[in-house]
Structure 1
Amino acid sequence: MKPEIAKLGYLSLVTSDLEKSLWFFKEVIGLEETTEINGVHYLRAWGDFQHHTLSLEQGDRGYVRHIGFRTKAPEHVLEFKQLLEDGGIEVEQIKAWETPGIGEAIRFPLPSGHTFELYYDITRPEVEEHRRSVLKNQTYKSWAKGISPRRFDHVNIHSSNDSAEAYDFLENVLGFKMREFLRGDNGDVIAGWMSVTPLVHDVALVIKPDLPTPARLHHLSYWTDDSQDILRAADILREHNLEFVGPGKHGITQAMYLYVMDPGSGCRVELFSGGYLIFEPDWEPIEWLEAERPLGNTYWGDSIQDKELNKITIEA
């Protein structure tokens, strides 16, 4: 049997203004800081269980170092390493706990140009009593500050590289399942929503030939419990004088959304709620045609496609 990925883990983000990014993610979005080590800040939402789902550090510009995923079993990390190397892909092995909270890991490039990391072993740090939830099945107190999303949900990445190779790698090497996809007028798949969980997507990959660099991040996403949380988020963002797009509802995924930019890194964050889950073992991917793209992007509400904000992506 092939090794398997269990879930999306974390995103390593570099920012050109660490102070602004920490204010944005901690005070506005409402993430909790697990720890800070050697200038790197490790954050997670109140319902995230592993050490962190976002790391932030100072750099000369905003960009993504890598995106981490947890495997289903400890042995799958090295099994993926062998599988990738057999396919001619250069793999970097990361010593256990070199990244705080993350055990032995591997990093490698995708055909899209993005860097993924795979690991299994994690730590679940104890939370200080004044921040800890009384619920044994929850990490932090909910609604302690800011928008306060429950958990890390997905990433949306863009690439100008060959689409067939990129989707084939995600599906046939890493084991992601195509859930919904957009077919261009030329017959190529130009956007795919893919997952290893019952979510419609743990990762979305969009092909755009005119990007400034081959691999980009369109957004990272945190999950809120319901639509009222999205409306509350809009109020909070307005109070902080932050420009945003939404609320609206996607046709693809059927989820409610709101998009806002981190003023420090230029990274777009989506607040996400609703949608549907996939439990059918024989699920057939849903095909959308390019003429249907507006409906797929925006079922109703404020559309990101009409905004200048949509053109901004960061290097990944």
Structure 2
Amino acid sequence: MENVRYEILPEIAKLGHVALETTDLEKSLWFFEEVVGLEKTETVDGVHYLRAWGDFDHHTLSIKEGPEARVDHIAWKAKRREDIGNFANLLREADVEVEEVKAGTEAGQGDAIRFQLPSGHNFEIYFDMEKPAAADPKHKSILKNQPYKAWRKGISPRRIDHVNIGTNTDASVITDFLQEKLGFKMREYLKTPDGNLGAGWLSVTNLVHDIAVMGRPDIKSSHEIHHLSYWSDNAQDILRAADILADQGIPFVGPGKHGISQAMYIYVVDPGSGVRLELFSNGYLIFEPDWEPIEWKADEMAAGFTFWGEQSGMKPEDLTTISAGEPLKSPKKV
């Protein structure tokens, strides 16, 4: 992949996919395909590529078996093809090690780059991605603007929504990197009693957050993921999800409504990998170009995290994470 000098700052368009490794592939596939209801695009070299019924790209989640449960990388789609080389230049100028990933390395995907946040979280940026029709014509929607029939199986969320990552180091180092190097905008944030950043909700779209960053000294490493999220159309979909999970005997947290984002939620853990999934709906959108980030203080977070409903994050099991990266390849960049 040829490096090009950027003339304008490159931009990220949206969250693309999460690449999950699980220690129990059978359980993870059962959970995400049958219970959650994601559709399988294809399986290549032991990697299962999935997407929701309203996701057009080849995949928004990939799952393969591995020796430990972890997220190999979190991927983002750039706005333009030339942004891939431009991001590579920008990151290298900031002394970030960049790996070029050739087209076809990941099924359905074109050239990409991979790199680490200062925390060790693994990120990928791509532009080209196949948009295949439903593999089984019987699963195809008659609507030309929708790849699959909705509600064919399981909870049936419409699309991928966001990720929530955690670190046991200074969260502001991550949020500064996201804003200064990748173009994210801070939408809401938590300030701790000592004046530091406790958490930040950032986006490149009109969503309140495409990514959330949590600073938690109690978690295992500097590069963890708390959850990935899929979005459903309305509150009734979340209540329907609760029925489906309860009928399968799968424990969950919620339903509830966040103050931050104003969205309804259910949290449930994949029994194969231990990664947490947030089922998400409603919330508000941001269209103002001069949006001022909203500050929350620690004593306001009872309403910030849970405006009403079952409180999230109140029990130790609600706070578990799995790795979403690795130690920095170039420790001098810490």
Corresponding residue number in structure 2 for 1:27: 34
Structure 2 residue 11 is matched with structure 1 residue 4? yes
Corresponding residue number in structure 2 for 1:56: 63
CA–CA distance in structure 1, aligned partners of residues 12 and 212 of structure 2: 16
Match of 1:313 among 305, 315, 321: 321
Q: Is the 8 A contact 1:180 1:194 kept in 2?
A: yes
Match of 1:68 among 63, 67, 75: 75
CA–CA distance in structure 2, aligned partners of residues 166 and 203 of structure 1: 11
Where 1:288 maps in the other structure, the secondary structure is strand
CA–CA distance in structure 2, aligned partners of residues 189 and 82 of structure 1: 29
Match of 2:224 among 208, 216, 222: 216
Match of 2:271 among 263, 271, 291: 263
Q: Which amino acid aligns with 2:264?
A: M
Match of 1:95 among 73, 90, 102: 102
Aligned residues: 316
Q: Is the 8 A contact 2:171 2:213 kept in 1?
A: no
Corresponding residue number in structure 1 for 2:148: 140
Match of 1:121 among 117, 123, 128: 128
Shift of 1:312: 1.2
Match of 2:237 among 211, 229, 239: 229
Corresponding residue number in structure 2 for 1:42: 49
Q: Is the 8 A contact 1:113 1:161 kept in 2?
A: no
Structure 2 residue 220 is matched with structure 1 residue 207? no
The superposition leaves residues 248-275 of structure 1 with CA deviations (integer Å, 9 ceiling, x where unpaired) of 0000000000000000000000000000
Q: Which amino acid aligns with 1:3?
A: P
Shift of 1:126: 2.1
Unaligned runs of 5+ in 2: 1-7, 325-334
CA–CA distance in structure 2, aligned partners of residues 200 and 284 of structure 1: 12
Unaligned runs of 5+ in 1: none
CA–CA distance in structure 1, aligned partners of residues 192 and 309 of structure 2: 24
Q: Which amino acid aligns with 1:290?
A: A
Q: Which amino acid aligns with 1:54?
A: L
Shift of 1:103: 0.6
CA–CA distance in structure 2, aligned partners of residues 160 and 205 of structure 1: 11
Shift of 1:113: 1.7
Where 2:54 maps in the other structure, the secondary structure is coil
